[in-house]
Structure 1
Amino acid sequence: TCVLLENNQAQCLCTPVFRGLTCNQFSYVPCGDATCHGTQGHCVANSCICKTGFAGPRCDSTDFCATFPCLNGGTCVRTNEEPYGGCSCPAEFSGPTCSNDPCSPSPCLNGGYCVRKADNQFYCQCRNRNKGVYCEQVECFPSDATVDVLNIGKVPLSSLQIGSQVRIINEEDQVSYSPIIAFLHRELDGQALYKRVRTRSSTIELSSRHLINQRKDGFVWAETLNKGDEIRVLLSTHANETQWEEVVEITDVHKQGLMAPLTEQGTIVVNNVHASCYALVKSHKVAHFALAPYRLYHRLFGQLSDTDLMTKPILSYASTLLHFFKNLPIAKDLIF
């Protein structure tokens, strides 16, 4: 209340819970042996009872549980010490309000599904044959890699069709053509981590455990290549000459698309570099032998239906065969 004094001055008479020249400061009122915030609590039986949203022995602190709701199924537990509350989080989440989610954003690559574990940990449930902590290991080429198609020329793998005759290098080291009889993996939109292997004249990008022709040891996983190793490259798309070229650079790159075309001969020339059609399996010859029944079927009855070949990311036969091989005693020497 404003009161006019004798000297024509004004003075504010504050209610018990406010103070200051204009009554704009909160006051504490006596409450037993202590005091209680005048507007945020009230004294009942010598105890300060806080209004909703406030906490503390004098009701002058914020109520944690009312101000910071717990997320992801967390439960708020009030305490007698600042901040007068805290979140009890499910095992998969952490943080003051249980907002730390190890799967948001998902760290899993190539369509892998992130599964939450205790102690804010996670693991990636990988699709198809992808492997690695983050499903980063794939067995393919990117979709913009190119092959030479008979009577057409350079074609990106994203546009390659079943039945196309593509340039290969056969077992006699002769350049020829072989038909595409299947796709072991065909995913145009996926993202994957690839090894970029560069020579003086050519560059190829392929998954780390895809087989590539190395001069000393034959077909080896791309991840085992070193600078100075020699790989076979095609000198020109207009000639059938090849040569061994030294690897001058190896880097990791993320690219779009996961493409694994299968030729009848089992090899393919991608970006002018000689590679196997196979991955995961350490031996090109073992992989090629294992798919002999499928090649025989193809010769006798033609290709499988478009649905089987083009829409399923992995040929069911190859997937079943890989699962069978993993249970053999010699698997550790042949398969990842």
Structure 2
Amino acid sequence: MQDQRCFAADSLVTLSNGKQKSIADLKSGDKLLAYDDKTKSVLSTHLLTMLDFQPHQFAFFKQVTTSTGRQLSLSTSHLIPTDQHGYVMAKNIRIGMNIYAMNDNGILISETVSNVSDVIKQGYIAPLTEEGTIIVNNVAASCYATINSHYTAHAVLAPMRWWYSLFGISQKSNEAIGIHWFPKMLYEIASILMPSIIQT
């Protein structure tokens, strides 16, 4: 099993036009829905690239289920916004906590976690959006994992987002299998200089 920091490859992402698309089929430049943590609402953003793209490897995931049956499978250190505890790693999500989900009208609402289980699935994908958040399986989530603060991770990856904003988005940026070189380099540096912010 692989050490991963991503969503399960069978996940679906909602595009800005309301259609759903497999997370494994996303292309850089796709316009999709994300979570605005200032207004607790849905907004539109662009996919910049893949932080990690491993469609064939098997991995362990935490599967979070809400009271309405929505399910999200993501790595244990992946961050999810909650209504009372801020961004929480999936491994620390507990039954009874409230997370944000998008209803059939495209409105973000609070839903109670009814179950958290361990699953094994094939494939894991880590998309990076301009906003740093994303709606996956109609559940709001951060694009970040491993670093224990969404806001720290968002700040650390700012140069990467600026690069894509200044020089454009490559349609081929998500064709490479593996971890993008920039977050890989940052992870290695942080592991040495700031190990306390790294969790798996």
* TM-score tier (shorter): over 0.9
Unaligned runs of 5+ in 1: 1-108, 111-129, 131-137
In the other structure, the counterpart of 1:223 is 91
- Could you say which residue in structure 1 is the equivalent of 2:182? 317
Please, which of 279, 295, 298 is the counterpart of residue 161 of structure 2? 295
Percent of aligned pairs sharing the same letter: 31
Question: Alignment partner of 1:144: what SS?
Answer: coil
Deviations 1:36-89 (A, max 9, x none): xxxxxxxxxxxxxxxxxxxxxxxxxxxxxxxxxxxxxxxxxxxxxxxxxxxxxx
TM-score (norm 1): 0.56
Residue in structure 1 matching 2:146, options 280, 283, 291: 280
Among candidates 125, 145, 148, match of residue 259 of structure 1? 125
Give the structure 1 partner of residue 59 of structure 2: 192
Q: For 2:43, which of 176, 183, 207 is the aligned residue?
A: 176
Q: Give the letter for the 1:163 counterpart.
A: G
TM-score normalised over the length of structure 2: 0.93
Unaligned runs of 5+ in 2: none
Which amino acid in 1 is paired with 2:176? T
C-alpha deviation, 1:305, in angstroms: 6.8
Distance 2:141 2:108 in 1: 13
Please give the alpha-carbon distance, in whole angstroms, between the structure 2 residues aligned to 1:152 and 1:214. Answer: 24
1:331 maps to a residue whose letter is P
1:152 CA drift (Å): 5.8
| In structure 2, distance between residues paired with 1:185 and 1:233 | 24
The alignment covers a number of residue pairs equal to 197
Cα separation, 2, equivalents of 1:310 and 1:281: 25
Instruction: Find the aligned partners of 1:186 and 1:229 in 2 and give their Cα distance.
Output: 30
* Aligned-residue offset at 1:176: 1.2
> Which amino acid letter does the alignment assign opposite residue 286 of structure 1?
T
Q: Distance in 1 between matches of 2:166 and 2:146?
A: 28
- From the two aligned structures, give the one with the greater helix fraction: 2
Name which one, 1 or 2, has greater alpha-carbon Rg: 1
Provide the alpha-carbon RMSD of the alignment.
Answer: 1.4
Q: Give the number of the structure whose residues are more often strand, by fraction.
A: 2
Q: Aligned in 2, Cα 1:233/1:305: closer, same or farther, shift over 3 Å?
A: closer
1:13 alignment partner in structure 2: none
| SS of corresponding position for 1:254 | strand
Closer/same/farther in 2, CA of residues 169 and 244 from structure 1, 3 Å limit:
same
SS in 1 for 2:175: helix
Q: In 2, are the aligned partners of 1:309 and 1:315 still within 8 Å (CA)?
A: no
